């Protein structure tokens, strides 16, 4: 049976891990490669590394980090942040990433999705969307949530799927950092509209929140950062809990 995936997200700045609270303040949470290796041992199904300084600083360090992660880890990982054109995708896949996540660049230039899908296959192309619930609508944002994109969530992700996205990573800015649970209604709406996997992001605070994202949000995977980075939830224990709740998860090969 296909397992629901648990995906720690590592926001990387200068090869260090940081996590923003509502995208503004950052706290240090350790070395990015070591933290990824630890999550892998604990039972993480995949990892996401986001280069949060990509648009402002050089990308060489991040590419070097991707190489180190690929050499060290035996689970898949996605990289994102600052991917604007096909040459960025080529560089990151060449360094050993399994998938790339495109966000603002895809909203600005939706054809980028087709280009990635055509060159590397749809399975490589994760389209990440940051959206906020405002005036009874889910609206997309650019540049890590700083700039309104002027597009509604559902039409955009539908278009992204049509253009060749392999997965949708949906971050609710309304729920992110608040730790009151994922945006389950919006997630369920995406799941019923799309024919590709949906990764839930933003709002995890307790184990129950993960269960609800799978049970009510119909998500295929759930992503979280700070609850893992600060030891509030242990991935192995989370999976034991989810299994007890009849959510299919991968449990073997883990460090207890």
Residues identified as active-site:
11, 130
122 binds other proteins (CB under 8 A): yes
* Token pair for 201: 């992001």
Q: Please list, in sequence order, all residues whose beta carbon lies within 8 angstroms of the beta carbon of residue 139, skipping any fewer than 6 positions away.
A: 131, 132, 133, 148, 149, 150, 151, 152, 153
234 binds other proteins (CB under 8 A): no
143 binds other proteins (CB under 8 A): no
Q: Please list, in sequence order, all residues whose beta carbon lies within 8 angstroms of the beta carbon of residue 47, skipping any fewer than 6 positions away.
A: 7, 8, 9, 10, 36, 39, 40, 69, 73, 75, 76, 77, 78
DSSP E strands, 122-220: 125-134, 137-142, 147-152, 167-172, 197-201
The piece of 31-39, 49-57, 80-88, 186-194 that touches other proteins (CB under 8 A) is 186-194
93 binds other proteins (CB under 8 A): yes
Taking CB under 8 A as the criterion, the residue among 120, 142, 159, 240 binding other proteins is 120
The piece of 26-34, 53-61, 143-151, 217-225 that touches other proteins (CB under 8 A) is 217-225
| Strand partners for 169 | 128, 199
136 binds other proteins (CB under 8 A): no
Taking CB under 8 A as the criterion, the residue among 121, 148, 150, 155 binding other proteins is 121
Task: Check: CB of residue 254 under 8 Å from CB of residue 231.
Answer: no
For binding to other proteins (CB under 8 A), which residues are involved?
A: 1-3, 5, 40, 45, 70-71, 74-76, 93-94, 96, 98, 120-124, 166-167, 191-192, 194-197, 218, 220-221, 250, 252-253
């Amino acid at each position: 049976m296909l397992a629901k995936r648990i995906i720690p997200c590592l926001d990387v700045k200068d090869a260090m891990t940081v996590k923003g609270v509502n995208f503004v303040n950052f706290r240090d949470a350790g070395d990015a490669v070591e933290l990824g290796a630890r999550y892998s041992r604990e039972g993480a199904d995949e990892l996401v590394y986001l280069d949060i300084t990509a648009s402002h600083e050089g990308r060489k360090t991040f590419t070097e980090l991707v190489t180190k992660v690929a050499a060290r880890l035996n689970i898949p990982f996605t990289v994102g942040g600052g991917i604007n054109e096909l040459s960025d995708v080529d560089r990151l896949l060449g360094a050993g990433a399994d998938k790339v996540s495109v966000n603002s660049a895809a909203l600005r230039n939706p054809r980028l999705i087709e280009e990635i899908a055509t060159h590397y296959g749809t399975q490589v192309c994760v389209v990440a969307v940051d959206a906020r619930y405002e005036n009874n609508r889910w609206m997309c944002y650019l540049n890590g949530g700083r700039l309104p994109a002027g597009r509604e969530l559902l039409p955009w992700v539908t278009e992204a799927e049509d253009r060749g996205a392999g997965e949708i990573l949906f971050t609710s800015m309304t729920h992110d950092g608040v730790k009151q649970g994922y945006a389950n209604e919006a997630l369920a709406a995406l799941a019923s509209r799309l024919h590709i996997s949906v990764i839930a992001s933003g709002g995890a605070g307790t184990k129950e929140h993960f269960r609800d994202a799978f049970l009510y949000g119909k998500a295929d995977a759930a992503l979280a950062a700070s609850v893992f980075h600060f030891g509030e939830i242990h991935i192995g224990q989370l999976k034991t809990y989810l299994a007890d709740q009849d959510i299919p998860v991968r449990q073997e090969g883990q460090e207890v």
